[in-house]
Each structure stands twice: as C-alpha cells, then as structure tokens.
Amino acid sequence: MRRVFLSLGSTRIRLMLGLILAALLMAQIFSSIEVKAKATAQVGAAIDPGGQLQTELARNAMKLAKEDPVKFFNFALENYHKSYRNYTCRLTKQERLGGRLGEVQVVDIKFKEAPFSVLMVWQENPARGDKMLYVEDPRIAADKWMMFIHPSGAIGRLIRVVERRPDDPEVLKSSLRSINEAGFLRGMESLRKVYSQAQRNGHLIESSYLGTGVVDGRPTFALKRVLPNDHDYPAKTTIVEIDQEYLVPVHVKGTNWQDQPLCEYTYSNIKFNTDLKDSDFTRKANGLD
C-alpha cells in the first residue's frame, strides 16, 4: 500500500484527500438541509393542490365567507384587531379617474394603526406626489390633520413639501379613495358596510364565493359582489381575494356600470408587526420638514 501512495506522488495524494473531504462536507450539508426541510414541513401549514391553506382559522373563515360575507368580515375584523398593530407592504394599483384609466402605479407603504399613520413612497408612475405622509395625531384637533406631500417631477426639485387636507378636491382627483380610508382595517370596514347596506336594501344582484387562488405566492379565497346603479355604491362588480392566513384583502378588482375596469389593487410582500415606531412617521425622518 505504501508503494502505491509513493507512486502517486505527494501532489496527487493531497488532491485525492481534498476530494474525499469535499464529498464528506457536501453530504453533511445536504443532510442538514433535508432535516431542516422536514422540520419546516412539520411545523408549517400545508397547502392543498387547490391553493387552500389547511388551518382551522382558514377553514372557519371560508365557511363564513360562503354563508354570509358580513359575518365573514366581522370575523376577519376581529382577527385583525387581535393580531396586528402595523405592517409594511407594496401596493400595485390602477384606477379610472375622470373617465380615463390611469397608469399602473407601484407604491411602498408603511402603516401603523395607533395612531393612524401612513407613509407612501411611489416607485413607479407617481401622480402629483411621489411621497406622502399622514398621521392622525391625537394631540391635535382632527381638522388640523394634514397630508405632507413631496411633489413629483420637476416641481419636486424646487418645492420640498406641500400640505393638503385629506378631503382637498385637488387631492381627490388623484385617487378614488382618500388617505383616511387607507389600510386593511378601514378597507375591510368599508367592504362590510357596503355588503351590509346592500343586504338590508335587497340590492345584492349577486353575492358569491368564487373559490381559492394564489396572490404573491400565498393562498387566497375570493368573493364576488354585483350591485345596482344609482344607489351611491362604489362599483358595479367587485371581486375581493382574501389571504387565507392573514385574513386581509390582498387583491381587489372593480368595474363600473359600463363594465369598464374601475380599479385594481394588489398587495404584496406584506410584513406584519414590524419594529415601526412613531418616530418613523415624522416629517423630519422622511425629508418632509
């Protein structure tokens, strides 16, 4: 055996030993990955081929959604109040304003519930502003709550910030919803209110459960609502996809009474209960002072 190794030479011996050690190291790494994968599969919730998350919360939510959308939103709102205090996400949106379907906008959002605080930073196709901050500060009167907006385009290079009230007519020309209607909580409250009003008045032309789907790689289930015109409803047809784990709307699509696209909102990369603080929603922290 000694003669064999001598004949191979010291360089070849080192090479062979190196290859053997590398093979042993790779085997150990793959074994570790397999163990982690098994552990994750055991702990995480399973998703069936139809895009359905197998948790008791999801099953209860879908049962209510099939029976009565108002009961479902009551359930989802209760879950939200118990579970979440803030979040970050990306919103991709498109709206019809003044009879014209606008460009698709991409907005990064930071949101905190108490006090109600919103920071929006446009990544694609900003309208009149590319950054907006709004806080409902309980220390000041409600009629003093203002939006602080950095103008987009060339004006933004000359003017650092403009102040506007949420109900300013010029501001409302840039969006179907005012900033004080933003967020998952108030959005679900609005959906529940319209469903409840339509049920009470016998206006639900259609209220159906559409089944399961996937948004941003996460399982959802969908509701469809069709309403009549001339009753101050926000849209004719509204389809809402709800994240099965988070129980918040992650995709909303609406049409007007001419069956034209009215709005579409998709929420992605949602992270709940981050380390957001009041100091993250100050004018100085966001270059809006």
Q: Say what the pLDDT of residue 37 is.
A: 34
Tell whether 135 and 247 lie within a shared domain: yes
pLDDT at residue 48 above 80? no
pLDDT digits (tens, 9 = 90+) for 231-247: 999 999 999 999 999 99
Burial class (CB in 10 A: 0-12, 13-18, 19+), 171: buried
Least confident of 10-19, 24-33, 160-169, 197-206: 24-33
Q: In this structure, which amino acid lies at residue 289?
A: D
Tell whether 182 and 76 lie within a shared domain: yes
Is the whole-model pTM more than 0.75? Answer: yes
Task: Check residue 160 and report its DSSP letter.
Answer: S
Tell whether 28 and 105 lie within a shared domain: no
pLDDT at residue 43 above 70? no
Is the residue at 48 inside a domain? no
Tell whether 20 and 79 lie within a shared domain: no
Share above pLDDT 90 across residues of the chain, in percent, rounded to a whole number: 75
Tell whether 84 and 154 lie within a shared domain: yes
> 51 to each of 2, 54, 156, 212, how far by Cα in Å?
62, 9, 44, 6
Is the residue at 49 inside a domain? no
Side-chain-side CA neighbours of 7 within 13 Å: the count stands at: 4
Q: In this structure, which amino acid lies at residue 123?
A: Q
Question: How many residues are there in the chain?
Answer: 289
For residues 169 and 180, the answer to whether their CB atoms sit within 8 Å is no
The two three-digit tokens of residue 10, written as one number: 């010291």
Is the residue at 237 inside a domain? yes
pLDDT at residue 23 above 50? no
Tell whether 87 and 212 lie within a shared domain: yes
Tell whether 21 and 118 lie within a shared domain: no
pLDDT at residue 40 above 70? no
What confidence category does residue 267 fall into, taking pLDDT thresholds of 50, 70 and 90?
very high
Is the residue at 134 inside a domain? yes
> 58 to each of 53, 179, 188, 242, how far by Cα in Å?
6, 30, 17, 10
Q: How many structural domains is the chain composed of?
A: 2
- Give the containing element (helix H, strand E) for 79: helix 69-83
Is the residue at 51 inside a domain? no
φ and ψ of 90, to 5 deg: -115, 130
What confidence category does residue 53 fall into, taking pLDDT thresholds of 50, 70 and 90?
confident
How large is the average pLDDT for residues 31-52?
45
Q: Say what the pLDDT of residue 146 is.
A: 97
Domain that holds residue 87: 56-286
> 275 to each of 101, 205, 271, 285, how far by Cα in Å?
37, 44, 10, 15
Give the Cα separation of 259 and 125 in Å (integer): 25
Tell whether 38 and 62 lie within a shared domain: no
Is the residue at 50 inside a domain? no
The chain-wide mean pLDDT, for the chain, equals 86
How large is the average pLDDT for residues 272-284?
97
pLDDT at residue 49 above 90? no
Q: Is the peptide bond before 115 cis (omega within 30 degrees of 0)?
A: yes
Tell whether 207 and 84 lie within a shared domain: yes
φ and ψ of 144, to 5 deg: -100, -5
For residues 45 and 55, the answer to whether their CB atoms sit within 8 Å is yes
pLDDT digits (tens, 9 = 90+) for 77-104: 999 999 999 999 999 999 999 999 999 9
Tell whether 130 and 12 lie within a shared domain: no
Q: Say what the pLDDT of residue 127 is.
A: 86
Give the Cα separation of 232 and 254 in Å (integer): 15
The two three-digit tokens of residue 46, written as one number: 């399973």
Give the Cα separation of 123 and 108 in Å (integer): 7
Tell whether 139 and 265 lie within a shared domain: yes
Q: Say what the pLDDT of residue 150 is.
A: 96
**What's the CATH number where 184 sits?**
2.50.20.10
Tell whether 198 and 171 lie within a shared domain: yes
pLDDT digits (tens, 9 = 90+) for 132-189: 999 999 999 999 999 999 999 888 888 989 999 999 988 888 899 999 999 999 999 9
The two three-digit tokens of residue 101, written as one number: 């379907």
Q: Say what the pLDDT of residue 115 is.
A: 97
Q: Say what the pLDDT of residue 35 is.
A: 35
Give the Cα separation of 119 and 277 in Å (integer): 12
To which residue do tokens 């309208």 refer?
Answer: 127
Q: 85 versus 128: which is more confidently predicted?
A: 85
